[in-house]
Structure 1
Amino acid sequence: MFRLAHISDIHLGPLPRLSARELASKRITGYINWHRNRGKRLFGNILESLLDDIRAADPDHLAVTGDLVNLATKAEIMAATQWLVETGDPQDVSVVPGNHDAYVPGAFEALSHAWRPYMLGDDEALSTSGDNLFPYCRVRGNVALIGVSTASATPPFSANGIFGRRQALALRQHLVEAENEGLFRVVMIHHPPVRGAAKTYKRMLGIRRFGAVMRSAGAELVLHGHTHLDTLYRLPGKDADVPVVGVPSASEALGGHRPASGYNLFTISGAPGAWSCRLDRYGLDADSRSFEVFRSEEL
């Protein structure tokens, strides 16, 4: 049995003091949005309570599917690095970046260096830096954790992700090899690889390409963030439909138009051809101090 926790969209705050040079970019729109909206809904104490609850559940591994920061400033990336160190050992925590982590040109390269230990595949010789880190594959127990990056700097008022041909070919290879090794295959990605799951200006470019990989190679589970919603979709796979599971923001307070902070806990057991995967969804309760299971289902 393997227990996998999943969180996303951390959006660590508060924002650091920004220089005029840092604001002379797309960051100005994000800065205004933070002070008008996001900063009023995201609170660090909720995130700490969530992490305490996950530690009490004692999962075998933690998957973090992006948006650790807000505007991808140097100070934010450094703070997120320290947060990762405090959250867990790189052997026990796997990360893929989101659009906010690559908010402006140059940010992706900075995070790739800073968070590298948490995004490094088992075959370190093949993992260098930047785009070449992805997709990566880590085997933990009977589970293959495959990290894909859709993070890319985009123009103002755009939050699209990109899943290109190079990653598609490499992802398919990882999936085939993991299947041959008899592993339960989990794909981690930030943007939902499903049509209609996100608005046009926030969707993933390459959804058709991702779907083709699923149909040709299959997977047992896909985890994503980005929408801040507790969703479940299914994509046609090689032998069976592939569950695609979203999760709310790890830092969202009660009272907003999207679900409050939560995490997913997957219990994986069985063997190839007869896998079992139970999903327990944990959400913030009414007192904003603890988390409780509000839905359980077999995937």
Structure 2
Amino acid sequence: MFKLAHISDIHLGPLPSLSLRELASKRITGFINWHRNRRSHMVGDTLNTLMDAIDRIDPDHLAITGDMVNLASSREIETVTAWLQDAGEPSNISVIPGNHDAYVPGAYEKTTKAWYPYMRGEDAPAEWDEDFHCYPYMRVRGNVAIIGCSTALATPPFAASGYFGRRQARETVNLLRAAGEAGLFRVVMIHHPPIRGATPTHKRMIGIRRFGATISAGGAELVLHGHTHLNTVYSLRGQKMPVPVVGIASASQGLGGSKPPAGFNLFSISGSPGNWKLLRERFELNEIGQGVHLAETTRFLA
């Protein structure tokens, strides 16, 4: 049995001091939003509490579906790099970027370079290369193929949309088919939910139909996403049966906010091609915020 933990939208805080030059961009809107809305609910020991619980469970792998930072400043990127190194070895953690990781022009390249060991596919160059398309990437762990896609791109102020394009769709289909032919359980990671109506228009994923066609053409057993800061379960049309599409609350969301408290999904994967079994256990911050409890159990594919 393979155990896969899933967290998302870390938004590692608090915000560092920013120069006027750094704020003279879209960052000013995010800076104001942080201080007005997020600062009171996304600081403290919430993330540490979650990671301690995950460490005790000791899953085989950890999937993180984007939004590691808030404004993608250089100091934030450095802080997340240190956090990842403390969280575990790159071979045990797979990361994809979110819209906040590409908050302003140039940020996407900086975050990908800094976190490349955690985003590096098995056929990718050993060192980051700006001319190499990191996404999609595939990592094989046991009988599981983890395929990381990216919808991250810099957007104008008051927009947080993502994009899934033709090149990435074509390459993702190829990876999914290869993994299926190898008899692997296929997990696809993407930041924006690939479901119509799951987010407001200004936060939507452009290319939803293309992504759905990618999943049905290539085949998959599970899709993981973040972005909404909500605990959700949707589905997409698969080759033989619906493919679960699962979201999770922000890993830094404390108690008392408008969004659900921080949590993580734990997936137990067993069986074999044509007879896969998938159990999802969702853990969330307990009512006093000093630990987690099992909030929901769902069986898929059985």
- Please say if residues 281 and 294 of structure 1, whose CA atoms lie closer than 8 Å, have aligned partners that are also in contact: yes
Q: How does 1:148-227 map to 2 (within 5 A)?
A: 148-227=149-228
Matched residue of 1:113: which SS? helix
Q: Is the 8 A contact 1:229 1:246 kept in 2?
A: yes
Contact 1:108 / 1:130 at 8 angstroms: preserved in 2?
no
Which whole-Å CA distance do the structure 1 matches of 2:295 and 2:20 have between them? 45
After TM superposition, the score normalised by the length of structure 2 is 0.97
8 Å CA contact retained: 1:6, 1:263: yes
Counterpart code for 1:6: H
The structural deviation recorded for 1:227 is 0.2
> 1:185 offset after TM fit, Å?
0.1
Which deviates further from its counterpart, 126-135 or 143-152? 126-135
What amino acid does structure 2 have at the position aligned with 1:265?
Answer: L
Aligned to 1:272: 273
Question: Could you tell me which residue of structure 2 aligns to residue 38 of structure 1?
Answer: 38
Tell me which residue corresponds to 2:138: 137
CA displacement at 1:131 relative to structure 2: 6.6
For residue 259 of structure 1, what is the aligned residue in structure 2?
260
* Matched-pair contact (CA < 8 Å) for 2:235–2:242: yes
Q: Structure 2 CA distance, aligned partners of 1:62 and 1:128?
A: 25
| Matching of residue 21 in structure 1 with residue 21 in structure 2 | yes
Instruction: Give 2:135's aligned amino acid.
Output: F
Deviations 1:77-97 (A, max 9, x none): 010000000001000000000
Report if aligned partners of 2:53, 2:292 keep a CA contact under 8 Å in 1: yes
Alpha-carbon distance change, 4 to 18 in structure 1, aligned in 2, over 3 angstroms = same
1:101 paired with 2:70, answer no
Identical columns (%): 59
Preserved CA contact (<8 Å) 1:112 1:129: no
After superposition, give the CA deviation of every residue in 1:40-86 in whole Å (9 maximum; x if it has no partner): 11024110010000000010000000000000000000100000000
Q: CA deviation at 1:197?
A: 0.6
TM-score normalized with structure 1 length:
0.98
Does the CA-based 8 Å contact 1:61-1:93 persist in structure 2? yes
Shift of 1:125: 3.9
Post-superposition offset of 1:270: 0.2
The count of residues paired between Structure 1 and Structure 2 equals 299
In structure 1, the gaps of 5 or more residues are: none
Q: Partner of 1:266: helix, strand, or coil? A: strand
> Could you tell me which residue of structure 2 aligns to residue 114 of structure 1?
114
Q: Any idea what SS the aligned residue of 1:210 has?
A: helix
CA distance in 1, matches of 2:124, 2:165: 22
Report which stretch shifted further, 127-136 or 212-221: 127-136
Which residue in 1 is equivalent to 2:49? 49
Aligned structure 1 segments of 4 or more residues deviating by more than 2 angstroms: 124-131
Matches of 2:220 and 2:95, distance apart in 1:
19
1:89 equivalent in structure 2:
89
**Cα distance in 1 between the residues matched to 2:115 and 2:37:** 27
CA distance, structure 2, for counterparts of residue 44 and residue 123 of structure 1: 39
Question: CA offsets per residue over residues 95-126 of structure 1, 9 Å max, x none?
Answer: 00000010000000001110000000011249
- C-alpha contact 2:136 2:171 (8 A) present in aligned 1: yes
Q: Verify the 8 A CA contact 1:50 1:262 in the aligned structure 2.
A: yes
Aligned partners of 2:230 and 2:249 also within 8 Å: yes
Residue 147 (structure 2) aligns with: 146
| CA displacement, residues 24-55 of structure 1 (integer Å, 9 cap, x when unaligned) | 00000000000001111102411001000000
Q: Deviations over 1:179-201 (max 9, x none)?
A: 00000000001000110111100
CA contact (8 A) 1:109 1:130 kept: no
Describe the SS at the equivalent of 1:245: strand
Change (3 A) 1:83 1:6: same
Distance in 1 separating the partners of 2:162 and 2:44: 26
| Counterpart AA for 1:31 | F
SS in 2 for 1:100: helix
Counterpart secondary structure, 1:41 = coil
Aligned-partner residue type, residue 82 of structure 1: A
Helix, strand or coil: the match of 1:196? coil
1:30 alignment partner AA: G
Cα distance in 1, alignment partners of residues 28 and 132 from structure 2: 26
Q: Match of 2:80?
A: 80
